[in-house]
Amino acid sequence: MDFNSHTDSIVRVAVGLVNELTPGERRGRDFSPPRDLAPAATEGLRTGYPGHREVTEVEAGELAEIAGRLRVVFDAVAKGDVDAAALRVNDLLEKTRARPMLERHDGEPWHLHFHGPGGTMTGDWAASCATGLAIVLGSEHHDRLGVCTAPHCDRVYVDVSRNGTRRFCGTACQNRVKTTAFRARGRVS
């Protein structure tokens, strides 16, 4: 399932920021973002844009605040409350003054950016992530945003599979659940 290549990358960034910068559970263990947020924030951005520059600690703190606001959107969709998710995205769109603009840079073809010129790096990413999520929520594929269903994991994902049946943040959680089920079947016999 592709929304478009730029939107897909932006939604992957939203997923990366939430998963790297928000506390909760990951792969069966408690998860807290590291004290030094800059490497984690950089990793989150590189989820969708592998060549993204390193971020500063100040930018990382701002991205962590944005990630917390984005997490609420994923949580609402996972609970089936698309209205609440849409209201949160609309709030973020308004606060960031997101607006579409065609841009061409770095040898790339024309593509949509969702922020105006002259903004801050974190403000631009907030506007872009909010717009990317708005595109997903405004489509018939809003259920492609999810929270991992594995026990003790609350990391988020976007399901880009053809059949839309993804339930886990990654293969580690999927394998954990399958292994647990296999062992449980063996004890019953």
pLDDT at 189: 61
pLDDT at 119: 85
pLDDT at 103: 85
Tokens for 83?
């209205």
- Looking up tokens 């969708």 gives 48
Q: What is the DSSP string of 111-141?
A: EEESS-TT--HHHHHHHHHHHHHHHHHTSTT
pLDDT in tens, the chain (189 residues): 555 677 889 999 999 999 999 999 999 999 999 999 999 999 999 999 999 999 999 999 999 999 999 999 999 999 999 999 999 999 999 999 998 888 888 888 888 888 867 789 999 999 999 999 999 999 999 999 999 999 999 999 999 888 889 999 999 999 999 998 888 887 766
Count the domains in the chain.
Answer: 1
Q: Where residue 65 sits, what CATH number does that domain have?
A: 1.10.3300.10
Separation CA 185–CA 120 (nearest Å): 54
pTM of the model: 0.91
> Quick check: helix, strand or coil at residue 142?
helix
Q: Which domain holds residue 108?
A: 5-188
